[in-house]
Amino acid sequence: MTIHIGAEPGEIAETVLMPGDPYRAKWAAETFLSDVRQVNAVRGMLGFTGTWNGTPVTFQGSGMGMPSLSIYANELIRDYGAKTLVRIGSCGAMQERIALRDVILAMTATSVSTPSRGIFREVNYAPCADWSLLEAAVAAARAKGTTLHVGGIYSSDVFYDERPDLTEQMTRHGILGVEMEAAELYTVAARHGVRALAVLTVSDHLMTGAALPSSERETSFAEMVEIALTAAVQ
């Protein structure tokens, strides 16, 4: 057990999928896994372990933002031996060619700052996805016929952004979408020598103002989870 995860030794799989919302972790585990059991409920951040095609998989909520994600990623890796961490979540599109429900695979993750920034000091570290996971996710998405975009995303420190100038520059430089966790996930994974990837469903669009209604989000996210599982369980 750790400060934030109440699982016993052996209850967390080496492959962990990390939605921000703990109830999305519950939904995904109950929808996709067999022999599901709850392994964490500390602070309401639910975690579940089961099997997918015979392979143990854990779904563990990570909370919102990089500081929260960093806590769970560190403990999953250091204390439970997680080897593959895949963020599954929503994002806002930042390019007009991207539509709602499209899937974005984050090859790199730009940020203004992360919880790890103090380690690097003057260095602008470039967080990136694990190639084997990225390659496998591309293949899985193409096999499903998913509309897919691969490239850089922006991990923001804030949800209610008041920097339209920054959004303009991100869009100008080809950033595909914005979310709040991937840059720290990639950094923590690199530090500990494990694999990480962010698989994201476009739930809203910064350029057009379009957004998925809440009633349609779970159905749209199922495709993303299937891609993530296929890529992670190799």
Q: Is 180 annotated as a binding residue?
A: yes
Q: Is 89 annotated as a binding residue?
A: yes
Q: Is 149 annotated as a binding residue?
A: no
Q: Is 152 annotated as a binding residue?
A: no
- For residue 6, what are its two tokens? 């109440």
Q: Is 4 annotated as a binding residue?
A: yes
Q: Is 101 annotated as a binding residue?
A: no
Q: Is 20 annotated as a binding residue?
A: yes
Q: Is 47 annotated as a binding residue?
A: no
Q: Which of 79, 157, 161, 204 is catalytic?
A: 204
Q: Is 68 annotated as a binding residue?
A: no
Q: Is 161 a catalytic residue?
A: no
Binding residues: 4, 20, 24, 43, 87-90, 179-181, 203-204
Binding residues for phosphate: 20, 24, 43, 87-90
Binding residues for a purine D-ribonucleoside: 4, 179-181, 203-204
Provide the annotated active-site residues: 204
